[in-house]
Amino acid sequence: MPKQVSPFHSKTGEVYHIYSVCTAGISIKRGRKVKGKGNKKLCGACKDIRAGKRPR
Ligand SMILES: [Zn+2]
């Protein structure tokens, strides 16, 4: 089970992430990555990781 990190999101995205292994989270470009939930929804992939449905 991957370790959770503090929430982060992309300035241009509609979701926030809680796993550093999330591929969508990894694809956020440098400079667009912001700390916090940004009043957004939790990323679907991160949800699946939390539920143990996928490793990343
Ligand atoms: Zn994510």
Alpha helices (runs of H) in the chain, residue ranges in sequence order: 23-26, 44-50
Q: Could you tell me the distance, in angstroms and rounded to a whole number, from the CA of residue 24 to the centre of ligand 1? A: 5
- The pLDDT score that the predictor gives to residue 31 is 95
Q: Write out the residues surrounding ion ligand 1, Cβ under 5 A.
A: 17, 22, 24-25, 43, 45-46
- The pLDDT score that the predictor gives to residue 18 is 97
Q: Could you tell me the distance, in angstroms and rounded to a whole number, from the CA of residue 31 to the centre of ligand 1? A: 17
pLDDT, tens digit, for every residue of 3-52?
999 999 999 999 999 999 999 999 999 999 999 999 999 999 999 999 99
- The pLDDT score that the predictor gives to residue 34 is 97
